[in-house]
Amino acid sequence: MKKIFLAAFIFFVFSSFLTAQTAEPSKQKISFYLELNSSYKNQIFRDYLFDSPNVLNSRLDWDADYLFSLGLTGGMKIKGLELFVSTDFTLPFECGHMYDSDWRTPGMKTNFSISDLYPAFGNDSLIGIKYHFLPGKNQAGFFIVPTLIISNSYISYNAKNTIGWCGDVKHTGLTQNYPWDSEYATKWRKYGIDLTNNITSVFCGLELSKKIRAFEAAGGVLVSPYTYIFSIDHHLNSGEGKYYLMIQEAFFSVLELYLSTGYSINKKNQIILSAQYSFCPRIDGEMYFGYNATNYELTIDISGFSFNKFTTTLSWRISL
């Protein structure tokens, strides 16, 4: 079914190139634009470790409540065809918290810790192609825009100032495990955890856009036929620490929704406000373990990953 959907979408895109009325049929020249972007992002990552498919051992919640980034977008238009590239970089400010939960006894959360969260480095980049056309005799003036995007999102986090409450026998010295919030649990100051995460996606979908004098509005839905995710959790200690490498592959699981509105100040300058939301349900994959950053061994454990991202961007577009 997924292959049929993808084939139908590709057929629709290419047939539209041949039959559609383009956005500006009377203009044959190439035009360029440049955008200066500033973004606010809220993103939540979930790392899971399972001893078996239904037995949860550990979960890390990376809750970045406020990430700020600056970036650039460059684009080129030829008739109804639009090509564009974009990149932005995350500013290194404290952005939220990381929550670490462990179930040393199945069904009982024995350990829990909270850390302050800092982005060490973050970069989101993409390259895309759109085709703007009016289907048939569309009197309403809504343009349909098939879209294809390849995106890569990379971020590394440092979880610092970690305080934990532990009810497992390793930390209490007792003969059995207890919940983290019980009277038997002990409070510990921990070294913290670093995360490296990279998400590479291929997106395809449709956008609707409408121009009314100086205003322009657009909205679209994108689905990813294929997404590749890898993460490295570096658990710190007095030595080099421990490394957990997790790899997942997602097929038609990542969805993105977006809206934008723009106001043209004049022929050369436009202000654009946009918002996008993307999410992925839990995807399971392989788990590797190592005592250094280069040598890993495949384990019998199962890794999992899920995310939610919300981004608001204010852009200044300059037509060149």
Cα–Cα distance, 176 to 174 (Å, whole number): 6
Span 236-262, average pLDDT? 93
pLDDT single digits (tens) 261-278: 999 999 999 999 999 999
181-199 residue pLDDT tens: 999 999 999 898 999 999 9
Q: Residue 133: its pLDDT value, please?
A: 85
303 touches 49 (CB < 8 A): yes
Task: Say what the pLDDT of residue 237 is.
Answer: 83
Is domain 2-319 classified as CATH 2.40.128.90? yes
In a 13 Å sphere around the CA of 223, the CA atoms on its Cβ side amount to 9
Determine the Cα–Cα distance for residues 301 and 50; give it in Å rounded to an integer.
6
How many other CB atoms are found less than 10 A from the CB of residue 195?
21
Rounded to the nearest angstrom, the gap between the alpha carbon of residue 230 and the centroid of all alpha carbons in its chain is 12
Instruction: Give the mean pLDDT of 45-70.
Output: 94
